[in-house]
Chains A and B, each alone.
Chain A
């Protein structure tokens, strides 16, 4: 089983829509989780960390479900500028940073 799995999409949504991505991980010892954003094969950049209690940053909400071993990202009121690939990321034991394959989002006018 892969360490991390994401639905690659693409997710095609209209402006203003709400969209959610999930990411499952196999190692229950994984500690820290993040969502990164990548535009057009440029370098990934941190979007937000994911905390056990869930956290929100403007239109973005991240949640962690340790029992079911998945993290989620919810984007409300989608903007054209949200079009990108969203990568779920976590540190495994030993300090390796592991990436999901990414979920492609395309927001249409």
Chain B
């Protein structure tokens, strides 16, 4: 019962470095999305995907790229890390039809 798996759980980056946050789900869900959570801000949508090969921007997409080559995987790439990207990142997946979303355990990212 893996569900949604996010890696890494913790990461420290230097300003300007790039990295990829991994997200994989084994529930054959079509919908996947990435959120960031900052104190007092709730979860804000970065990018989302309604199926393999289809991605779209959310509320705060700048500085992030995504791709969806398979149903299972939805990696989030930080192109050039900035201190403003210090946050907790959550990946989520759900089946179509406005159903329950399942979340990964989160990645705590610090950019120094």
Task: Tell me the A residues contacting B by CB distance below 8 Å.
Answer: 6, 8, 31-32, 34, 41-46, 49, 87, 89, 91, 94-102
The CA of A96 and the CA of B43, in the complex, are separated in Å by 12
Q: Are A8 and B103 in contact (CB under 8 A)?
A: no
State how many angstroms separate the Cβ of A79 from the closest Cβ of chain B: 23
Q: List 20 A-B contacts (CB under 8 A).
A: A6-B42, A8-B40, A32-B98, A41-B37, A41-B106, A43-B103, A43-B104, A44-B103, A45-B103, A46-B100, A87-B42, A87-B43, A95-B96, A96-B58, A97-B33, A97-B45, A99-B35, A99-B42, A101-B41, A101-B42
In the assembled complex, which residues on chain A have CB atoms less than 8 Å from the CB atom of B105? 42-43
B88 at the interface (CB under 8 A from A): yes
The CA of A32 and the CA of B100, in the complex, are separated in Å by 10
The CA of A49 and the CA of B98, in the complex, are separated in Å by 10
In chain B, positions 20-77 with a C-beta closer than 8 Å to chain A are: 31, 33, 35, 37, 40-45, 48, 50, 56, 58
B92 at the interface (CB under 8 A from A): yes
Q: Are B42 and A44 in contact (CB under 8 A)?
A: no
Contacts A32-B98, A89-B101 known; list 16 others, CB within 8 Å: A6-B42, A41-B106, A42-B105, A43-B90, A44-B90, A45-B103, A46-B101, A87-B43, A97-B48, A97-B92, A97-B94, A99-B35, A99-B43, A100-B42, A101-B42, A102-B42
Ordered nearest first, which 5 A-B pairs have the shortest CB separation? A101-B42, A32-B98, A43-B103, A99-B43, A91-B98
In the assembled complex, which residues on chain A have CB atoms less than 8 Å from the CB atom of B104? 43
In the assembled complex, which residues on chain A have CB atoms less than 8 Å from the CB atom of B42? 6, 87, 99-102
The CA of A91 and the CA of B44, in the complex, are separated in Å by 14
Given contacts A95-B96, A96-B58, contact A41 B40 (CB under 8 A): no
